[in-house]
Structure formats: C-alpha cells, structure tokens
Amino acid sequence: MKKELFVGVFLALLLTASFFNIHYIGKLTDDVRQRVDHAVSCAEAENWGEAEKKAEEAIAIWTGRDTFTHLVLRHSEIEAATESLYALAQQIYSRDKGAAKGAGQAASARLASIADIERVRLGSIF
Amino acid sequence: MAIAIIRTLILYTVIVVSLRIMGKRQIGELEPAELVVAVLISDLAAHPLQDIGTPLLYGLIPVLTLLCCQVLISALIIKSLKFRALVAGKPSVLIRKGSIVQSEMKKNRFTIDELAEQLRKKDIYDISTVKYAILETDGSLSVLQYADQLPVTPKQMNLQTDDNGYAVIIVNNGRVMEDNLKKMGLNEVWLERQLQQRKAGGVKNVYLMTVDENGRIYYEPKEQKA
C-alpha cells in the first residue's frame, strides 16, 4: 500500500509541476512579448533608443531562462524564438521601421505559439 | 556525443527501475494493460535518445507517468475483481469436457490451427485427450487432460519417494553464497570440509556446488585451463 500511496502522490506532484510549468512558460513568454511589442511601438515612433533597450531586455529575459527552457521545450523551438528576437533587434539597429514591425510580429507570434503548445487545450492534446 | 551517452544512461536506469517497480510479471507473460506499457515505454524512450534536440523530460515524464498508472492499476486489479475483468479480461474456456467451445473460439479469434499449435507446444498431439483448455488473460493456454492421459504419479502407485527439496547454490563460479549457506544452517567450516573431501583446492576452483534440504550435494569443479 505504501508503494501505491507514494506513486499516487508522485503522480499528483507531476501533474502539479506540469501546471506550474504551463503557468511559468505563459508568464515568461508574456514578459518577453510585452517588451517586443513595446520595442515595436517605440520603433514606429522612431524612438530608437528605447526600442533598442526593450529589444535587448527581451533577449536578456529569454536567454536568461536558458536552462529552464532547454529542460522543458524542444531546442528547435527555443532557437527559433531566440533568432526571431535577434532579428527584431537587428531591424531596430538598422533603423528600419517597417522591417522592425514585421520582425516584432514574427517574434511575438513565435513566443505565443510556444505558450499555446504547452496549454491544456483540445488542439494541443490532439 | 557525450550528451547522447548520458541521456542513454539516464533513460536506461529509469526504465530498468520502472520495470523493477512494476514487478516480475511485467517481464514475463504480459496482460493487455502491461503489454501497452511495455510497448509504449520502449517507444517513448527512443525519441529523446535519437534526437538530442528533444528535452530528456519528454521521455522521462511519460515513462514515469506510465509507471504510476501501472502501479495504481495493478493495485486496483488486486482489490477489485470487476476492475480486473475490465482491464485484463477473463480467461476463456476453449475446450470444455472434451468439446471445443466454438463460440469462445470465435470470440477470441482463435483458429483450430492455433489451438492445435498451442497444444503441440504442450506435447499434446491428440485433441481428444484434452478435457479442458483455458485461454488465460496473458494469451497462454492452460490444459487439463483426461485422467487416463496423465502421467502416473508415485502416490497413485503407492510408492515411497525421497523428497529432495529445494537445492540451494552454495558456491557460484568460485564465490561463496554466504546468505544461502546461512539459510541452510551451514557454515564456512562445513564448506571447507566438503571441499577438502573433494580435493577441490579452494573455493576458487569450484564452478557450482549446491546442497538440498536432505544434505545432498551437487559438486562441479571448474574446467582446468589447457
């Protein structure tokens, strides 16, 4: 009976950890997306200094959680998201308003899709 | 490369421990739920091993979840006969009182050829000698032959026989099995005396030595190197 009890508790812990993981990834991607969106709106207003700062913050937050993301996300997804953030920064550094907007939208969509895949929805399950 | 090796070692350890926790039955004859777990575990473990871009947790968590499910289902099976019937099914009587139960054969999609094959595996070549044949939930066939077809036992012949009991390994390839020695109420002094009587020249020269409950000894020395 002890074994069954231990296994039941372990299963409950696994479930709890998985829901925590969904919450954490959702929060992380939201944080990064907020900065991406802010960077894009600053770029549109030609406030390049602030746009650079926000894009760099977004990269720092995303790459700062490297260990965690590599544990729980497919490495190809992480790399694609990282590349999209650097692409945004590149367009901002080159002061290309239109390209920065496109790169920002791509990065935001990439991050949203990572969070979406992890969420418990019919679409994610099947 | 190192990542692949470390991942393989981790997954190997987890799977071996999981199968150990699931119990011995998992390794032998499998019931439907157990077969599903065994097949799934091997497949789940293969993915993160082949693709190092997939987090190891994607293999470990499903394996651990399956382990939990299997342990919990096994516990429920022991507690509830209804649940056992639901998960593992019920044994089917394919031959009853010497007659093939065709409805059960059909229900289990069991052909005459398969029945004959299973019987041959039990050294039964004449189906008319079978009184009962039961298809167990793990897919094996249990057979009871008519009494006149069964081997005669010493008891039926009113013969006295010596009961050898269980023979325990005392020396295994030059190593003394101390636990077994103690279980049999013996000690190193007794072992040394037995080896001297056989001119073994030490435990290291013994390949196998067993002793049964009546004190009968089986002794096999190691082959001498040419």
- Strands of the B217-221 sheet, one edge to the other: B175-176, B168-172, B206-211, B217-221
Whole-number pLDDT of residue B57: 87
Quote the pLDDT of residue B23.
60
B168-221: CATH homologous superfamily? bsu07140 like domains (3.30.240.20)
State the 10-residue block means of pLDDT for chain B, 226 residues long: 70 75 58 78 81 84 86 86 82 94 92 93 94 89 92 88 83 92 92 91 92 90 81
Are residues A58 and A39 in contact, defined by beta-carbon separation less than 8 angstroms?
yes
pLDDT score for B54:
84
| pLDDT, tens digit (0-9, with 9 covering 90-100), for B22-35 | 665 544 566 777 77
pLDDT tens figures, B158-181: 888 877 778 899 999 999 999 999
Domains observed in chain A? 25-118 (1.20.120.660)
Q: Among A1, A2, A3, which would you mutate to test the B interface (most chain B Cβ atoms within 10 Å of its Cβ)? A: A3
Query: Residue ranges of chain A with pLDDT lower than 70?
Result: 123-126
Q: Is B217 on the interface with A (CB under 8 A)?
A: no
Per 3-state DSSP, chain B is made up of helix, strand and coil in percentages (nearest 5) of: 50, 15, 35
β-pair partners for B171: B176, B209
Query: What was the pLDDT predicted at B104?
Result: 92
Question: Which of the 8 DSSP states describes residue B24?
Answer: G
Residue B26: per-residue pLDDT: 47
- How would DSSP label each residue in A12-66? HHHHHHHHHHHHHHHHHHHHHHHHHHHHHHHHHTT-HHHHHHHHHHHHHHHHHTH
Annotated domain spans of chain B: 2-86, 92-149, 168-221
Residue B17's pLDDT is 78
Nearest to B133 by CA among B169, B91, B175: B91
ipTM score for this prediction: 0.78
Which chain B residues contact residue A8 at CB under 8 A? 68, 72
Tell me, yes or no, if the two domains B92-149 and B168-221 fold the same way: yes
C-alpha distance from B39 to closest chain A C-alpha (Å): 21
The pLDDT of residue A65? 93
Per-residue pLDDT at A23 = 93
Burial B115-138 (b: 16+ CB within 10 A, else e): beebbeeeebeeeeebbebbbebb
* Chain A interface disruption, residue of B52, B60, B67, B71, most A CBs within 10 A: B71
Full DSSP string of B80-144: -HHHHHHHH---EEEEETTEE-HHHHHHTT--HHHHHHHHHHTT---GGGEEEEEE-TTS-EEEE
Nearest to A14 among B53, B64, B71 (CB): B64
Minimum Cα–Cα distance from B64: chain A residue: A11
User: Quick one: B92-149 is in which CATH superfamily?
Assistant: bsu07140 like domains (3.30.240.20)
pLDDT tens digits, residue range A87-119?
Answer: 999 999 999 989 999 999 999 999 999 998 888
